[in-house]
Amino acid sequence: MPAHDVLIIGAGLAGQRAALAAAQEGASVAIMSKVHPVRSHSVAAAGGINAAINVTDDWRSHAYDTVKGSDFLGDQDAIEIMCSEAPAEVMHLEHLGVTFHRNERGELDLRAFGGASMKRTAYVADITGQAILHVLYEQLMKHHETVESYEEWFVTSLIQDEEGRCTGAIARDVRTGAIEVFDAKNVILACGGAGQAYKPTTNGLIVTGDGIALAYRIGAPLMDMEMVQYHPTCLVESGILITEGARGEGAHLLNKDGERFMEKSAPNKMELASRDVVSRAEQIEINEGRGVGPRGEGIYLDVTVVPRKRTLEALREIVNLGRDFAGVDITREPITIRPGQHYIMGGVKTDVDGRTPIEGLYAAGEVACVSVHGGNRLGANSLLDTLIFGRRAGEHAARRASTMAMPSAGRARAARDEAMLAGILGREHGGRRVSEIKDELGRTMNEQVAVFRDESGLREALATVTRLREESDSAWVDDRGTVFNQDVLGAMELGFMLDCAEAIVLGAIERKESRGAQYRTDFPERNDEEWLKHIDISRDGDGEPRIGYSPVTITQWQPEERKY
Amino acid sequence: MAQMADVHRPPESFKLRLRRYDPESGDAPYWDEHTVALEPHRSVLEAILQARDKSDGSIAIRCSCRQAICGSCGVRINGEPGLACHTHLEDARAGAGADGAIEVEPMGNMPVIKDLIVDMDAVHWKKVRRVTPWLLPSEPAPEREYIVSKESMVDVTQTMACIQCGACVSDCLAMEVDPGFIGPAALAKAYRFVGDPRDQQQRERLLDLAQDPQGIYDCTHCFKCVEACPKDVNPMGQIMRLRRIAGTDQRIVDRNNGERHEAALTTLVRDFGLLHEAELPPRSYGGNSWFGKFHPAAAKELVSLLPTAAKAIGRRKIGVKQALFGHKLAKQDLDAVKRIYEKVESRPERYELNLYVSGVDEEVEPATAAASSEEVAS
């Protein structure tokens, strides 16, 4: 049976960074992903990575912007760590080979991004996530002797010992269908968000909340799950993302009257206010009949005001996306966009070293909630989050491993998961298809747990999620094989997404105020007195979800009114 | 203002013909047909997923992002390699056979695991690992960033933009003949380091890739990879750049004599306007002089080529006179060829075609077109 000091589940930026850091500390490391590492959804991060590297900048300014962007729900100790360690991390990436674009002096160039008080976003054209992910994978290839890589392995459950510690994971080899027990002194979850619980979403088809649900199922608390980010610029039909870098380079948002409507809600920052503010402003224009397009459900993003040469050099990917997925040449005409589900600020609750309250279980990246994003994440802070806390989790887990003996769960532990998968394969063709349930879940979440929310809509959503969960118990699959049986894994992913949706809706019902991405039309004001706190949701095994609270850590910035 | 011409077009019926293979059944691969209803500007991937969601959940394809960035869904559509998510249904139907069915098959040059899924690791990733795919910078690293030119980073971004989808590997003709060929994707990756001014092993990398008989001189310029690439990485162009840097800048003489062969071809075209076949081997060995014919290796090569020459003459591919004395071009045509050479060679720096630097195709200057025609000729 494979056994490792540190087992990392997920091979996007957080996972790869954790693996390299843990290996550097001398631990025996394995990194496991249900897809090849470079297919991880970090690849889609476009705009850049924030760091106060300009000599006139200060990490405290970055931290304040992040705190304000979070609508004061972010934990300031964690934000201070992220922002103060950011410059060194970006330089580390540069030294590893990331091809960051340069200014005329040959130094790292910086672009403007939403919610930031100065230009502090380092970038590689508009493929920054891809460039960093591929460069980290280069490093994994370089260090193949110290980091074991399990590519295309699907984790079915986490292992706990009798004291409740996490001591490994059960996984299925996608290529062969074999189930294996992986013992580990520490497990780091780094498998991303849960965007596929929404439809449409900017997130890839693989982003199904696996890690959040795996942790939830063994009793780890989830925090701030109601905080779901809608990105202001997504293609109307497909939900495909148009990077915030477009607005960073100067693009305008226009309603059907050609008005730059951001003047009304963010007269100073205009299009570069934080994402929750811009998405709400757009949704108001659409709801009040000033949207564009045949159904008035879009907004114009006008990139033609950016010099064409600059667009081709720095926004080349969205030139292609506009051409290929909307039939629009963005250098010559505006493109129609609208807010779309993009990111989940909430996740598995961790401390600043990635530790969850379950001993031996760590989380980093979108799967985790440290919390550095609070109620709303700033653009170009997600890559930073994955790298800083991926590294810190990797280092901490490696050090912890050096003090303990290797656990052994025994081969028999796999039987439960084998039986569960056999159970799915054996279901009669009678109920609904997995794909139908997933579709209904996504549409429900996007209608009722979106930019604007209210009690009755959320209650309906909860009832739907509960019903879909019952239906999912009898959802059947066609594929009865073992090799690349994506059908049966899809049924498991549906279960993960339903768990995440349950926590998201419960959190949204619980938080009776408007803060960051949570806007309740029935409670339209922020209420610091009662709700300046995190909402924690946890359950044991198959038990009922319980709601708890934890305080927000405030170090130097007291909550104040948020204006852009 | 933007026209929403492509939105809200009514769904149409599309016929898909998928190449299926189940390794557990013991049966041979077979064709499986599905009919889907989707708007014509939707992608082939969406059509496959609709078939999978609505009628047969066992259809296997790797996919995630749906926007041509994760590189998972490389397939062959109507025989041409590409990404399923990046191909519109109406375009695919226009390229389909007589019955209008869109044929989707797994990529080539890699073993099929199941349905549309191939073993990328056995071929593609193995080749990527072959080119030492990580930066080898000077040590110790500076406190802040390495200072390098703006243009150099924009330049390597073109190869950094490779999403490792394997479309170029799928249809590489050289790899079909020589499976050991390092191939377009891995060599484009190699350029990403050779072209990166932070890398300190440029010469070692080029020596390695030039002297490997399955390295940069194994490419046969068929342009398949250029056409296949969904991200404009231009793999063949990167291979040619590696050759130019290896040969012209670093004066690396490779085992297959590829660099001198290429130089001989270029000068012959300059002097004769067309390739002078009989002169090629001596010049390839002896350089650009009359005495080159008497280079011992050239003589050996010439003798070994005699049967080939005889065959070509026998099949009337070439006349005896042409073979010995070369082609005669009209003076004005020859002058036109010379002018292209003068224009290209008079540039202070070599002009490299890079879409991130030069913009889109229609904006490419005529001089660049001339530079790339040199690649065509060689």
Assign B225 a pLDDT band (cuts: 50, 70, 90): very high
Q: How many inter-chain contacts (A to B, CB under 8 Å) are there? A: 205
Regarding whether A11 and A142 lie in a shared domain, the answer is yes
Residue in B115, B149, B161 closest to A106 by CB: B149
Tell me, yes or no, if A176 comes closer than 8 A to chain B by beta carbon: no
**Percentage of residues in chain B with pLDDT exceeding 90?**
63
Regarding whether A247 and A302 lie in a shared domain, the answer is yes
Mean pLDDT of A238-267: 94
Residue in B2, B52, B60 closest to A334 by CB: B2
Question: Is A16 within 8 Å of A89 (Cβ atoms)?
Answer: no
* Residue A63 within any structural domain of the chain: no
Mean pLDDT of B241-250: 91
Nearest CA in chain B to A439: B53
Measured between CA atoms, how close is A108 to chain B, in angstroms? 7
- SS3 for A11-23 is CCHHHHHHHHHHH
pLDDT at A482 over 60: yes
Regarding whether A354 and A242 lie in a shared domain, the answer is no
Assign B344 a pLDDT band (cuts: 50, 70, 90): confident
Regarding whether A251 and A362 lie in a shared domain, the answer is no
* Residue A29 within any structural domain of the chain: yes
Output A14 or A126, whichever has higher pLDDT.
Answer: A14
| Structure confidence at residue B111 (pLDDT) | 97
Q: Are strands A29-33 and A147-151 parallel, antiparallel or unpaired?
A: parallel
Regarding whether A455 and A417 lie in a shared domain, the answer is yes
The sign one gets for the Cα dihedral B107, B111, B116, B121 is negative
Residue in B5, B143, B356 closest to A327 by CB: B5
Q: What is the rounded CA–CA span in Å between residue B77 and residue A63?
A: 49
Place of tokens 């950011």: A86
Question: What residues does A340 pair with on adjacent strands?
Answer: A231
Q: What is the rounded CA–CA span in Å between residue A349 and residue A362?
A: 9
CATH fold for the domain made of B12-118: Ubiquitin-like (UB roll) (3.10.20)
pLDDT at A106 over 50: yes
Which of these, A488, A355, A354, A367, lies nearest to A427 by C-alpha position?
A488
Regarding whether A209 and A141 lie in a shared domain, the answer is yes
Q: Which tens digits make up the pLDDT trace of B119-177? A: 999 999 999 999 999 999 998 999 999 999 999 999 999 999 999 999 999 999 999 99
* Residue A68 within any structural domain of the chain: no
Residue ranges in chain B assigned as alpha helix (H): 44-54, 89-94, 126-130, 150-160, 167-170, 173-177, 184-194, 202-211, 224-228, 235-244, 258-272, 280-286, 296-314, 320-325, 331-345, 355-358, 366-377
Residue B356 to residue A39, Cβ atoms within 8 A:
no
pLDDT at B66 over 70: yes
A155, two tokens: 């984790």
Nearest CA in chain A to B142: A95
Instruction: Name chain B contacts of A477, Cβ cutoff 8 Å.
Output: 57
The domain spanning residue A480 has which CATH number?
1.20.58.100
| Structure confidence at residue A542 (pLDDT) | 63
**Which of residues 234 through 293 in chain A touch B, CB cutoff 8 A?**
236-238, 240-241, 292-293
For residue A371, cis peptide bond before it (omega within 30 degrees of 0): yes
User: How many structural domains does chain A have?
Assistant: 3
Which of these, A232, A238, A442, A231, lies nearest to B65 by C-alpha position?
A238
* Residue A536 within any structural domain of the chain: no
**Which of residues 108 through 127 in chain B touch A, CB cutoff 8 A?**
113-115, 117, 120-121
Measured between CA atoms, how close is B63 to chain A, in angstroms? 7
Number of H helices, E strands in chain B: 17, 7
* Residue A532 within any structural domain of the chain: no
| Structure confidence at residue B361 (pLDDT) | 46
A375, two tokens: 């109620």
* Residue A103 within any structural domain of the chain: no
Tell me, yes or no, if B357 comes closer than 8 A to chain A by beta carbon: yes
Q: What is the rounded CA–CA span in Å between residue A454 and residue A469?
A: 22
| Structure confidence at residue A186 (pLDDT) | 98
- Listed residues A342, A362, A377: the one ending a domain: A342
Assign A522 a pLDDT band (cuts: 50, 70, 90): very high
Question: Is A415 within 8 Å of A157 (Cβ atoms)?
Answer: no
- 3 state SS of B146: coil
Q: What is the rounded CA–CA span in Å between residue B131 and residue A182?
A: 32
Regarding whether A378 and A255 lie in a shared domain, the answer is no
Nearest CA in chain B to A177: B24
Instruction: Name chain A contacts of B149, Cβ cutoff 8 Å.
Output: 102, 106
pLDDT at A317 over 90: no
Query: B39 to each of A456, B103, B244, how far by Cα in Å?
Result: 35, 18, 46
User: For chain A, how big is the Rg over CA atoms in Å?
Assistant: 22
Measured between CA atoms, how close is A471 to chain B, in angstroms? 17
Mean pLDDT of A429-441: 94
| Structure confidence at residue B374 (pLDDT) | 40
Place of tokens 């589900």: A341
pTM: 0.93
Q: Which of A308, A484, A488 to mutate to test the interface with B (most CBs of B within 10 A)?
A: A484
Nearest CA in chain A to B134: A138
CATH fold for the domain made of B121-249: Fumarate Reductase Iron-sulfur Protein; Chain B, domain 2 (1.10.1060)
Residue A481 to residue B7, Cβ atoms within 8 A:
no
Q: Which of B46, B123, B145, B233 to mutate to test the interface with A (most CBs of A within 10 A)?
A: B145
A460, two tokens: 């309906």
Q: What is the rounded CA–CA span in Å between residue B272 and residue B283?
A: 14
Mean pLDDT of A79-93: 98
pLDDT at A300 over 90: yes
Q: Which tens digits make up the pLDDT trace of A160-213? A: 999 999 999 999 999 999 999 999 999 999 999 999 999 999 999 999 999 999
| Structure confidence at residue B271 (pLDDT) | 86
Tell me, yes or no, if B144 comes closer than 8 A to chain A by beta carbon: yes
The boundaries of the domain holding residue A516 are: 412-527
Residue A96 host element (H or E): helix A76-96
Query: B59 to each of A3, B31, B51, B88, B344, how far by Cα in Å?
Result: 34, 12, 8, 20, 52
Give me chain A's average pLDDT, please: 96
Tell me, yes or no, if A126 comes closer than 8 A to chain B by beta carbon: no
Q: Which tens digits make up the pLDDT trace of A216-229? A: 999 999 999 999 99
Regarding whether A515 and A385 lie in a shared domain, the answer is no
| Structure confidence at residue B285 (pLDDT) | 75
Residue B57 to residue A487, Cβ atoms within 8 A:
yes
Tell me, yes or no, if B86 comes closer than 8 A to chain A by beta carbon: yes
Mean pLDDT of A282-304: 95
Burial label, B65 (beta-carbon count in 10 A; 0-12, 13-18, 19+)? buried
Assign B289 a pLDDT band (cuts: 50, 70, 90): low
Regarding whether A301 and A390 lie in a shared domain, the answer is no
Residue in B86, B134, B141 closest to A141 by CB: B134
* Residue A185 within any structural domain of the chain: yes
| Structure confidence at residue B187 (pLDDT) | 98
Regarding whether A397 and A311 lie in a shared domain, the answer is no
DSSP code for B278: G
Assign B1 a pLDDT band (cuts: 50, 70, 90): very low
Query: A323 to each of A232, A326, A331, how far by Cα in Å?
Result: 20, 6, 10
| Structure confidence at residue B124 (pLDDT) | 98
Measured between CA atoms, how close is A207 to chain B, in angstroms? 8
Instruction: Name chain B contacts of A436, Cβ cutoff 8 Å.
Output: 53
Q: Which tens digits make up the pLDDT trace of B6-24? A: 455 789 999 999 999 999 9
Nearest CA in chain B to A208: B64
Question: Is B185 within 8 Å of B166 (Cβ atoms)?
Answer: yes
Mean pLDDT of B46-65: 97
Q: What is the rounded CA–CA span in Å between residue B129 and residue B122?
A: 11
**Which of residues 493 through 552 in chain A touch B, CB cutoff 8 A?**
none
Output B358 or A519, whichever has higher pLDDT.
Answer: A519
| Structure confidence at residue A286 (pLDDT) | 96
Q: What is the rounded CA–CA span in Å between residue B143 and residue A135?
A: 20
Domain segments of chain B as ranges: 12-118, 121-249, 258-377
| Structure confidence at residue B371 (pLDDT) | 41
Residue B58 to residue A206, Cβ atoms within 8 A:
no
Q: Which of B130, B157, B365 to mutate to test the interface with A (most CBs of A within 10 A)?
A: B157
Task: Return the active site residues of A.
Answer: 275
Measured between CA atoms, how close is B118 to chain A, in angstroms? 11
Residue B144 to residue A103, Cβ atoms within 8 A:
no
* Residue A426 within any structural domain of the chain: yes
Residue B150 to residue A490, Cβ atoms within 8 A:
no
Residue A464 host element (H or E): helix A455-472
Nearest CA in chain B to A293: B4
